[in-house]
Chains A and B, each alone.
Chain A
């Protein structure tokens, strides 16, 4: 996917606030790209433009054939329908793509099992903990046949242990089916462990400060290794 000369501004108190100004980026299909930058720099705006939840003022998005079509979105909050069960929340989004109910239910159950929630399918979201709700959202995002995965700091509000458990759950599902993933975060270690490419962004109007491709396979990465310590030091400056 290529983001070509994207510009986006918002009208705030009578003045135009430029969030993106002539922003260009190329993303490799079938990889995880992490967008790292300070809060409020425009990462989420960029993700919303890619997800077509908003339109750019200028510029265009060019997607490859395999990236066109439905998109799976993982938000900062789980955004589950509180009146539906866990299974129903996952199964509901798949209806247009899987008309056969049995097939749909089986697929929803499979993904819920993969995130360790097979015993909670009949529960309502308010009967689950915050981490379990986010796991349902992960299962929903993967069960939905989105051609791309868009992640907007989905693990941000969780404690460290839970966060790593969810990152692992996410990677397990992603490895099974490598979809183009764009991942917004301000957590540098998380980005370094998860992504194929980490893009460091400036504050508003957002520009690319560094575009770093990580060559080390995910399973061999360690935050304590000299390579990753150096990367962390560089990305935190």
Chain B
């Protein structure tokens, strides 16, 4: 680890310590565990939450809902974004839906979805409606940034639509797809957990939060919140690591080729 990385890590650690210190001081001054438990109490609650029997089931249920929503957003948002980037008519057709998705409060979507669907489906539906515009807009804007000169080259050299999609459109859109996917993934976690809090499906991080809140177990609410933060961070980390895979494979391949030569 070089000096500058070491310094950055030190500053981050210091920032975390200061936040924990403020939290501790606030909790001691309030002296009311129901309103604000100390960090110590919260971490004890976290340890007991982790040891609870259906812990992994709660985590898996939330992760499964988030991943399903993300996958649907990625495919539908990405595909419609590409098509809409090329078609003014489709863009005009989708504008009202996008305006509604962007302007409707998350809670309204969740409450309405709860009237229409079962509690397990509500997080999926709500996360889709909230995350779809993020992915869609990024990809649609990306289409407008595709080089018209390269496009013309593919026309001059007789590329079929499929070959153009594979060799020009998708590589050109990669930065937009990554940005859209990253932003919608972060949003998906929040909406899925919020929907679980309101609809209380049998398993889920949000459901456990809601149950703890009903029982005035503030430390447990905070513990589940910490778990939600860790899940989001882990999701981002896994996503970024997956993006590194093609580069690492390419490096390994070129090293192998060099060794063969």
Closest Cβ–Cβ distance, residue B171 to chain A (whole Å): 4
Of the stretches A68-76, A128-136, A197-205, the one at the interface is A68-76
Mark each residue of chain A from 76 to 94: 1 if its CB lies under 8 Å from any CB of chain B, else 0. 0101010110000000110
Q: Is A38 an interface residue (CB 8 A)?
A: no
Given contacts A70-B158, A96-B158, A122-B254, contact A79 B153 (CB under 8 A): yes
Q: Is A51 an interface residue (CB 8 A)?
A: yes
Cβ–Cβ contact A73 & B167, under 8 A: no
Q: Is A218 an interface residue (CB 8 A)?
A: no
Closest Cβ–Cβ distance, residue B16 to chain A (whole Å): 39
Q: Which residues of chain B are within 8 angstroms of A71 by Cβ–Cβ distance? A: 156
Q: Which residue of B150, B160, B254, B257 contacts A79 across the interface (Cβ within 8 Å)?
A: B150
Of the candidates A51, A95, A122, the one having the most CB atoms from chain B within 10 angstroms of its own CB is A95
Q: Is B157 an interface residue (CB 8 A)?
A: yes
Q: Is B79 an interface residue (CB 8 A)?
A: no
The docked-state distance in angstroms from the alpha carbon of A118 to that of B160 is 29
A83 nearest CB neighbor, chain B only:
B171
A71 nearest CB neighbor, chain B only:
B156
Given contacts A79-B149, A79-B150, A122-B254, contact A53 B157 (CB under 8 A): no
Interface residues on A, range: 10 to 19
Q: Is B252 an interface residue (CB 8 A)?
A: no
Q: Which residue of A51, A77, A95 contacts B156 across the interface (Cβ within 8 Å)?
A: A51
Q: Which residues of chain B are within 8 angstroms of A84 by Cβ–Cβ distance? A: 167
Q: Is B202 an interface residue (CB 8 A)?
A: no
Q: Which residues of chain B are within 8 angstroms of A53 by Cβ–Cβ distance? A: 152, 155-156
Cβ–Cβ contact B254 & A73, under 8 A: no
Given contacts A75-B149, A95-B163, A122-B254, contact A81 B171 (CB under 8 A): yes
The docked-state distance in angstroms from the alpha carbon of A72 to that of B157 is 7
Q: Is B227 an interface residue (CB 8 A)?
A: no
Q: Is B168 an interface residue (CB 8 A)?
A: yes
Q: Is A111 an interface residue (CB 8 A)?
A: no
Q: Is A144 an interface residue (CB 8 A)?
A: yes
A74 nearest CB neighbor, chain B only:
B156
Q: Which residues of chain A are within 8 angstroms of B171 by Cβ–Cβ distance? A: 81, 83
List the 5 closest A-B pairs by CB distance, nearest first: A73-B156, A79-B153, A93-B157, A83-B171, A79-B149
Residues of A within 8 A of B (CB): 51, 53, 70-73, 75, 77, 79, 81, 83-84, 92-93, 95-96, 122, 140, 144
